[in-house]
């Protein structure tokens, strides 16, 4: 079936609005890093989520790294991190020569378990090794339970870095995702709900720390007529052209959220009679963007496995993937501590039984109908 048009998991979806900002950059010859588009993109993102300020960067990973630098994370410090996530959430911990400790998910949101977090914090505080930060990931477009998680972190005076790379536009009790921690992180990678092809954003209410982030992200250049550097810096700023793409994309973000949620609703409605398919639940405390439609296959209800589904769909040139492989199961982190949810490894269960279905806003209804028919056939 290789001659069939490829249906992607989540591909870039241009609106046509991006071109005017790219053209302005070319017409002004401002194609080097920084410029009007960068400044405006920062202001527009900050305004959209309702926060004091933002710094446009080359990736979400760079944003997490700078957040850890600003929190003075260094060698042998402890940083807690969600386990069920992409490795970019935790790699910056290693950049700072710190030690990650991974926290399981809870079944209601698939995000960080308050139960597991509290156990970990209690044990590490008792050992005199309180973490310097907790990185909480908002998985697949849905916010974690921040009231419970923040209360635990506040009790131990540990700051939160909110990895909202997958959840731009989601809400938690009417508050925008990315604004609930000391720092918030967004990603504009090619597969995200809006894209700059590659890019990210660091947001915070603390403007003085964001100014330091700009300093570190531009090679930590001192105030001098010549090139002088007293501190280690990074080449982390977003280009003016890519920021122009982001400005055009941001204008249609709400439309994309509606499309993503409609895609999820169609899957859920059409597959509701298949008992073995259980979709990622939407919590009562927030509204998900449904960046990716994800589900888990109950092995007690069916002998069909996630691998079976992925293989079957691929024969029709349809892209699907397993849920993230938890970081505590990654070879890179095999020596790291891990705390489960009530003695259940929720993250591992979701990885073994979870699937991400095509959630591409470029996908036609006819294509989605075809995918649903293939799923019905295999079950």
Edge to edge, the sheet with strand 78-82 lists 53-57, 200-204, 183-187, 160-163, 133-137, 78-82, 99-103, 338-339
Count how many residues are written for the chain.
379
One CATH from 3.40.47.10, 3.20.20.70, 3.40.50.970, 3.40.640.10 for 18-250: 3.40.640.10
Torsion sign over Cα 181, 183, 186, 187: negative
Q: Same fold for the domain at 18-250 and the one at 253-378?
A: no
Compute the average pLDDT of residues 29-35.
82
The answer to whether residue 277 scores a pLDDT higher than 90 is yes
Tens digit of each residue's pLDDT (9 = 90 or more) over 44-97: 999 999 999 999 999 999 999 999 999 999 999 999 999 999 999 999 999 999
Centre a 10 Å sphere on the Cβ of residue 281 and count the other Cβ atoms it contains: 12
| CATH of the domain spanning 253-378 | 3.90.1150.10
Mean pLDDT taken over the chain:
96
**pLDDT score, position 2:** 55
Which CA distances in Å does 295 have to 8, 21, 169? 17, 38, 21
The answer to whether residue 30 scores a pLDDT higher than 90 is no
Nearest CA among 321, 335, 355, 352 for reference residue 102: 335
Triad 54, 60, 65: Cα angle to 5°: 90
Q: Token pair of 286, please?
A: 């927030």
Confidence of residue 32 (pLDDT cuts 50, 70, 90): confident
- pTM (2 decimals)? 0.96
**pLDDT score, position 31:** 81
How far apart are alpha carbons 119 and 124 in whole angstroms?
9
How far apart are alpha carbons 264 and 279 in whole angstroms?
9
The answer to whether residue 154 scores a pLDDT higher than 90 is yes
How far apart are alpha carbons 186 and 178 in whole angstroms?
7
Edge to edge, the sheet with strand 175-176 lists 175-176, 171-172, 286-287
H or E stretch at 202:
strand 200-204
Confidence of residue 1 (pLDDT cuts 50, 70, 90): low
Edge to edge, the sheet with strand 277-279 lists 277-279, 293-297, 354-357, 321-322
The catalytic site residues sit at: 192
**pLDDT score, position 290:** 98
Q: Token pair of 354, please?
A: 């979870």
Answer whether 73's CB lies under 8 Å from 133's CB: yes
**pLDDT score, position 33:** 74
**pLDDT score, position 29:** 87
Phi, psi of 347 (to 5 degrees): -60, -45
Q: Where are the domains of the chain?
A: 18-250, 253-378
**pLDDT score, position 83:** 98
Compute the average pLDDT of residues 345-367.
98
How far apart are alpha carbons 13 and 362 in whole angstroms?
6
How far apart are alpha carbons 319 and 53 in whole angstroms?
37
């Amino acid at each position: 079936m290789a001659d069939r048009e490829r249906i992607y998991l989540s591909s870039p979806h241009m609106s046509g609005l991006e071109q005017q900002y790219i053209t302005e950059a070319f017409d002004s010859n401002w194609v080097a890093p920084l410029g009007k588009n960068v400044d405006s993109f920062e202001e527009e993102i900050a305004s959209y989520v309702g926060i004091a300020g933002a710094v446009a960067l080359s990736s979400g990973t760079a944003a997490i790294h700078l957040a850890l630098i600003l929190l003075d994370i260094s060698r042998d410090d402890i940083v807690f991190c969600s386990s069920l996530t992409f490795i970019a959430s935790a790699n910056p911990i290693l950049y700072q020569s710190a030690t990650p400790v991974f926290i399981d998910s809870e079944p209601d949101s698939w995000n960080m378990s308050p139960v597991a977090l509290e156990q970990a914090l209690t044990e590490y505080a008792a050992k005199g090794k309180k973490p310097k930060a907790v990185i909480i990931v908002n998985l697949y477009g849905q916010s974690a339970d921040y009231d419970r998680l923040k209360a635990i972190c506040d009790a131990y005076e540990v700051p939160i870095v909110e990895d909202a790379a997958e959840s731009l536009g989601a809400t938690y009790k009417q508050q925008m995702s990315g604004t609930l921690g000391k720092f918030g992180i967004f990603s504009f990678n090619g597969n995200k709900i809006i894209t700059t092809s590659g890019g990210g954003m660091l947001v915070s209410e603390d403007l003085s720390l964001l100014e330091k982030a700009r300093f570190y992200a531009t090679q930590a250049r001192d105030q001098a007529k010549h090139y002088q550097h007293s501190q280690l810096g990074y080449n982390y700023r977003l280009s003016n052209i890519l920021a122009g793409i982001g400005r055009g994309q941001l204008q249609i973000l709400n439309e994309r959220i509606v499309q993503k949620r409609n895609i999820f609703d169609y899957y859920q409605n059409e597959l509701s009679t298949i008992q073995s398919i259980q979709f990622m639940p939407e919590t009562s405390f927030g509204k998900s963007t449904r960046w990716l439609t994800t589900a888990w296959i109950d092995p007690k209800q069916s002998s069909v496995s996630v691998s079976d589904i992925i293989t079957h769909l691929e024969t029709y040139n349809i892209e699907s993937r397993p849920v993230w492989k938890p970081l505590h199961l990654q070879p890179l982190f095999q020596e790291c501590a891990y705390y489960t949810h009530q003695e259940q490894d929720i993250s591992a269960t979701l990885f073994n039984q979870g699937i991400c279905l095509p959630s591409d806003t470029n996908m036609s209804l006819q294509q989605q109908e075809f995918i649903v028919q293939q799923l019905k056939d295999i079950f």
